[in-house]
Amino acid sequence: MREKPAREFGFDTRAIHAGQRPEPYTGARAVPIFQTTSYVFEDPDSAAAYFNLQEYGNTYTRIMNPTTAVFEERVASLEGAAGGVAFASGLAAQAAAFFTMLVPGDHVVSSAALYGGSITQLKHLQRKLGFEVTFVDPDDLDQWRAALRPNTKVLFGETIGNPGGNVLDIEAVAAIAHERGAPLMIDSTFATPYLCRPMEWGADIVTHSATKFIGGHGTSIGGIATESGNFNWSNGRFPVVADPSPAYHGLAFHETFGVYGYLMKLRAESLRDLGGALSPFNAFLFLLGLETLPLRMAKHVENALAVARWLETQPGVTRVRYPGLDSSPYRELAKKYLPRGAGAIFSFDLPGGRDAGRRFIEALTIWSHLANVGDAKSLVIHPASTTHRQLSDEELTAAGISAGTIRLSVGLESAPDLLADLEAGLRAVSAKTEARA
């Protein structure tokens, strides 16, 4: 009999070990990359049992893969979830999580301060799949409540809004959702489970773009959806989850698989049918990232706070939106939900609008100008001309940004080097401004 621990293992231990038992055949200590499409069945009965979901068995890498499974279980362990299903991107994970629970005619209430790609995704999905989305100011609990309808099936927000830095009052919004018999789904990409575990505050589904801090090195696109197992999908409001599935001869996923019902459906139907499977090689790189997630996040938030505090003292900067600053309207929420640090992605405003943003970015040499966040490298972007380009001016305002907003993803370099580079950028902006005057 295997000995059992008398206590829970710590976060850092699970970041390194959870999900993996050293491989039985070779003893390989690293997680092997099972770069295979398919798996030889022991016998026809076993194959039938796998396809009937009567036995846990590998069938095809579009649905499951032993390397990817280590990644899934490890993130689930870190989030405190019942399990996870990995996808080819964060947006694929999010789309599949919605797809699993929504049908035409349903209603979604979402924070308006989301990653631009998420807002675009929701708008396309509602038009093409026939459900409705109401966007609300995430800071205003009355707006969340007022937006509820009899057919509201899920509330959605981000732990730390992008790029306004809104910290969501997860506990309060979860309570609003649960009063309506709806789950709360959280994109916690910016926080990672190291900084915040939304399920501890009542969230039911937590998604990540693993592309960001989880991978941590800007090498791979991927995502994951995790579920707590606590939400009662058989509350009468989710026949699409609870009723017999025609795809599995009438199997009722939630009744049969209990706390694992939604996750089974997410994998065996949504991942299988939509097809956005994660590459095993990317899962391997994400696992390497997770091993050092606690170390990296601690340095990310340390550098981010140093940069934010410095920017706040600069005359050429009008607003620094880092929830870790004492001046932030989100400081109290950040203390509650993000006690180890308020992330490493935030924005600040240059008064000169689009032109100032462009000159600032042109002057930088160590900050990389690109459309990503959560890399070991420090990254910078001008949202109004890139990630949020598809949004109207009204939508930009709703997302809490302006034409002169610069977004930073603070990396792991020496903080003085990051500050010196930003100073050069601010000098370039002010030089031009003075020349004009």
Judged by the rule CB under 8 A, the positions of this chain that interact with another protein are 1-2, 4-5, 9, 13-14, 17-19, 21-24, 27, 49, 52-58, 64, 66, 68-70, 72-73, 76-77, 81-86, 232, 244, 249-252, 255-260, 263-264, 267
> How far is CA 206 from each of CA 155, 379, 411, rounded to the nearest angstrom?
12, 25, 24
Least distance in Å: CB of 54 to another protein? 5
CA neighbor of 191 nearest in space, from 83, 301, 95, 84: 301
81 vs 403, beta carbon nearer another protein: 81
Least distance in Å: CB of 312 to another protein? 41
65 vs 347, beta carbon nearer another protein: 65
96 vs 403, beta carbon nearer another protein: 96
Cβ atoms 205, 263 nearer than 8 A:
no
> How far is CA 50 from each of CA 40, 58, 62, rounded to the nearest angstrom?
12, 7, 14
133 forms beta bridges with 108
Least distance in Å: CB of 42 to another protein? 11
* H-helix or E-strand spanning residue 200: none
46 vs 385, beta carbon nearer another protein: 46
In the chain, the amino acid numbered 374 is G
Kindly state the tokens that stand for 202: 């009542």
Least distance in Å: CB of 318 to another protein? 45
Least distance in Å: CB of 37 to another protein? 16
Least distance in Å: CB of 396 to another protein? 37
Phi, psi torsion values for 213, nearest 5 degrees: -65, -30
Sheet holding 368-369, edge to edge: 319-321, 345-349, 405-409, 379-381, 368-369
38 vs 52, beta carbon nearer another protein: 52
What is the per-residue burial (b if ≥16 Cβ within 10 Å, else e) of 37-52?
A: eebebeeeeebebbbe
Least distance in Å: CB of 172 to another protein? 21
Kindly state the tokens that stand for 68: 């990817």
248 vs 310, beta carbon nearer another protein: 248
Least distance in Å: CB of 148 to another protein? 20
What is the per-residue burial (b if ≥16 Cβ within 10 Å, else e) of 405-437?
A: bbbbbbbbbebeebbebbeebbebbbebbeeee
Q: What is the DSSP string of 395-415?
A: HHHHTT--TTEEEEE--SS-H
42 vs 362, beta carbon nearer another protein: 42
259 vs 370, beta carbon nearer another protein: 259
Least distance in Å: CB of 277 to another protein? 12
Least distance in Å: CB of 151 to another protein? 22
79 vs 169, beta carbon nearer another protein: 79
* Contacts for 298 with CB less than 8 Å, ≥ 6 apart: 194, 340, 341
9 vs 140, beta carbon nearer another protein: 9
Kindly state the tokens that stand for 53: 């979901």
Kindly state the tokens that stand for 348: 């600040």
Instruction: Give the single-character DSSP code of 325.
Output: S
* Contacts for 321 with CB less than 8 Å, ≥ 6 apart: 163, 164, 165, 328, 346, 347, 348, 400
Least distance in Å: CB of 204 to another protein? 15
Crossing angle between the packed helical segments 415-436 and 353-362, to the nearest 10 degrees:
130
135 vs 238, beta carbon nearer another protein: 238
* Contacts for 371 with CB less than 8 Å, ≥ 6 apart: 381, 386, 387
